[in-house]
Amino acid sequence: MNRNIFKNKVVIVTGASSGIGKATALEFARNGSRVVIAARSAEKLAELEREITTNGAEAMACTTDVSVEDDCRKLIEATVTRFGTVDILINNAGISMRALFEDVDMSVLKRLMDVNFWGTVYCTKYALPYIVSNRGSIVGVSSTAGFHGLPGRTGYSASKFAMHGFLETLRIEYLKEKLHVMIIAPGFTASEIRKNALLADGSPQGNSPREEKKLKSPEFVARWVLRGIRKKKRNKIMTWAGRFTALLQRITPALVDYVYYLEMKREPDSPLK
């Protein structure tokens, strides 16, 4: 019988109001963890907190904009005040975009970096001493766009590349302390991220260019997050297509460029010509 390593662990999940973040918070709660859920929507967090506590687990909602450093600091402080420490940090909060670089307003790129990259940096900075002390885990929920540039998503790819560089360097700096750092790339998952993706002018896209019902479920991804932590995985690309892309990138990167171009061009209302 496998020992439940997550029981009574203190876990912070950012971007927990929907999608992968919500599913991951629920999965940790089912495994007996004490879960701190963070996002901008206080209403959605309150609903999730009720759902978790009703099922007998411990949870605390903390309204947080991860692009604001002080919010991230307060998130960690509130967690430590309530539960005494932090064992696992899931950096899941993120936004996407869909526009050509020549058309996009620079504020959109800054917003992507503020949320996807700096949000990870801020939360990690303040949680790090506790996680290192506990030999815990830091997880970055990323994308294949962080392994190879994705056309029409310059800001998204840049922010994920930056996240990767930051987390991989952190892993090396704390090698002797045996800090576990995992980057997980789920691939296309049914969530709100494409509906909320920013267009060239910064307005939300509104409709997803993908058939959401055919995409993998957030619950499936959440189970893999816990499995990856349990097995101390480094980088986990969840789709075969993503793994194949990562391999081909080293062998024939020009082919990957072309395939990505064709794939993104096929999307409805694609900005690619």
- Say which CATH number the domain at 132 has: 3.40.50.720
Please, which contacts does 173-176 make with residues 24 or more away whose CB atoms are closer than 8 Å? 174/132
pLDDT in tens, 168-220: 999 999 999 999 999 999 876 665 665 678 999 888 876 655 455 656 789 99
Query: Has residue 270 been placed in a domain?
Result: no
Confidence (pLDDT) at 209: 57
Is residue 13 helix, strand or coil? strand
The residue from 122, 126, 130, 156 that is catalytic is: 156
User: Does the active-site annotation cover 130?
Assistant: no
Is 119 contained in some domain?
Answer: yes
Sign of CA dihedral 138, 144, 149, 152: negative
Task: Provide the domain limits for residue 24.
Answer: 10-240
Query: The pTM is what?
Result: 0.90
Please report whether residue 250 resides in a domain.
no
Number of domains in the chain: 1
Query: What is the C-alpha to C-alpha distance for residues 198 and 78, in angstroms, rounded to an integer?
Result: 31
